[in-house]
């Protein structure tokens, strides 16, 4: 039983109950607060995902850099051997 099974009559019933509980003056405030909460949640989730991607990319860059440094060191050592 998901949110899709509520249907239009169920939504109307929920709105009527909310109207009776909170009154007509309080409903717009509750709607704005709910909207801000959802917006902040989405923003926080996006920030977390972006941070994870940044960490992964910086880790892969540092791994690639260490491989490049080790190759360069190997080349330097091979140049020193004939001397």
Tens digits of per-residue pLDDT, 59-81? 766 655 555 566 666 665 555 55
Of the candidates 36, 31, 2, the residue with the CA atom closest to the CA atom of residue 15: 31
In this prediction, residues 16-25 reach a mean pLDDT of 89
In this prediction, residues 7-32 reach a mean pLDDT of 89
pTM over 0.85: no
For residue 75 the two structure tokens come to 């080349």
The pLDDT, as a whole number, for residue 52 is 83
The more confident residue out of 5 and 20 is 20
In this prediction, residues 9-13 reach a mean pLDDT of 90
Torsion sign (Cα): 11, 16, 21, 23: positive
The pLDDT, as a whole number, for residue 64 is 57
């Amino acid at each position: 039983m998901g949110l899709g099974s509520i249907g239009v009559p169920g939504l109307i019933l929920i709105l009527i109950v909310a109207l009776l509980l909170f009154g007509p003056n309080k409903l717009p405030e509750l709607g704005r607060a709910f909207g801000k909460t959802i917006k902040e949640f989405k923003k926080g989730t996006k920030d977390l995902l972006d941070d994870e991607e940044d960490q992964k990319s910086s880790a892969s860059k540092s791994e690639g850099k260490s491989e490049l440094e080790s190759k360069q060191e190997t080349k330097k050592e091979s140049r020193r051997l004939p001397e």
